[in-house]
Amino acid sequence: MIRIGVHGASGRMGRSVVDLVRNQYAEHAEIAATVDRKSGGIDALAAVDAIIDFSLPAGTMTMVDWFEDQSGELPIYICGTTGLTDEQHTRLAGIGESTIVFHATNFSVGVAALSALLRFATPTLTALGYTPTIAEVHHVHKLDAPSGTAKTLSEVISPDDPDAIDITSIREGEVIGKHSVTFSGLADRIVIGHEASDRNLFARGAIEAALWLCQQEESCGNYTMEAYFQKRFLN
């Protein structure tokens, strides 16, 4: 039985993780600790096997501070928080020296598959003269723009200069998350995209990653979605 701790547990994603573990993963996992900004009790996370964090950048930095203060065997850290600065990313990655850290801007396997398609298609399409742009739509409560997923897709399409990719961000109603990449030619367009219809998609991806990583032999290091997708689904 894998003991899971949830950070950001009162938020939309945190609640989704807690509900899914209790209702669909009860044979394999249990919620051993829930922590949010006002709840306190962060030290309860020391007794879990994996921490799933869907909070906000300040919350994730609280987790990083906490990890830096710990010693001995540490929980695996699965982090889905987006909107981190470069400096915050660097600090988060530093925790990978002490435990396994898996930070992903999007935990859906569908978006990982979309990235794999784009890695394959982009060189050919740009050589043919198509220009890629990205559009994303999310609910009005989302704080960061462009979305972390859109930024990750721009890195996939244009690894040497992701900022060169034009990103349009729309905030509308309760949209869970839509991303599309349009390759525009002189007289045609090729559109490749992904649309999430339930945020359980991301929660499930993070839970599945936690269960899988708990079975791996490594005790530290940084996982990317690309590496995880390759190792778990393409090998």
* CA–CA distance, 192 with 175 (Å, rounded to integer): 18
Identify which of 133, 105, 120, 114 has the alpha carbon closest to the alpha carbon of residue 202.
105
The residue (of 82 and 180) whose beta carbon lies closer to ligand NAD is 82
Binding piece for ligand NAD, criterion CB under 6 A, among 24-32, 103-111, 116-124, 183-191: 103-111
Determine, following the binding rule CB under 6 A, whether residue 152 of this chain makes contact with ligand NAD. no
Task: Look up 142 and say whether it is catalytic.
Answer: yes
- Distance between terminal CA atoms of the chain? 26
Q: Tell the smallest beta-carbon distance from residue 60 to ligand NAD (Å).
A: 8
Beta strands 177-184 and 189-196: pairing type? antiparallel
Peptide bond into 146 cis (omega under 30): yes
Q: How many CA atoms lie within 13 A of 103 on its CB side?
A: 24
The residue (of 64 and 104) whose beta carbon lies closer to ligand NAD is 104
The footprint of ligand NAD on residues 196-225 (CB under 6 A) is 202
Six token digits for residue 61: 């930095």
Exposure string over 1-10, b if 16+ CB within 10 A, otherwise e: ebbbbbbbbe
Determine, following the binding rule CB under 6 A, whether residue 107 of this chain makes contact with ligand NAD. yes
Determine, following the binding rule CB under 6 A, whether residue 180 of this chain makes contact with ligand NAD. no
* CA–CA distance, 170 with 178 (Å, rounded to integer): 10
- In single-letter form, the type of residue at position 124 comes to T
Helices 148-157 and 109-127 pack at an angle, to 10 degrees, of: 40
Task: Look up 231 and say whether it is catalytic.
Answer: no
Determine, following the binding rule CB under 6 A, whether residue 154 of this chain makes contact with ligand NAD. no
Determine, following the binding rule CB under 6 A, whether residue 100 of this chain makes contact with ligand NAD. no
Determine, following the binding rule CB under 6 A, whether residue 226 of this chain makes contact with ligand NAD. no
Determine, following the binding rule CB under 6 A, whether residue 171 of this chain makes contact with ligand NAD. no
Over the window 57 to 96, marking each residue x when it contacts ligand NAD by CB under 6 A and - when it does not, the resulting string is -xx--x-----------------xxxx-------------
Q: Which of 11, 75, 132, 146 lies at the binding interface for ligand NAD (CB under 6 A)?
A: 11
The footprint of ligand NAD on residues 113-132 (CB under 6 A) is none
* CA–CA distance, 202 with 158 (Å, rounded to integer): 25
The residue (of 47 and 58) whose beta carbon lies closer to ligand NAD is 58
The residue annotated as part of the active site, out of 103, 138, 151, 178, is: 138
Six token digits for residue 128: 């043919």
CA distances from 219 to 25, 41, 58, 164, 206 (A): 24, 25, 26, 37, 18
List residues binding ligand NAD (CB under 6 A).
8, 10-14, 36-37, 54-56, 58-59, 62, 80-83, 104-107, 144, 202
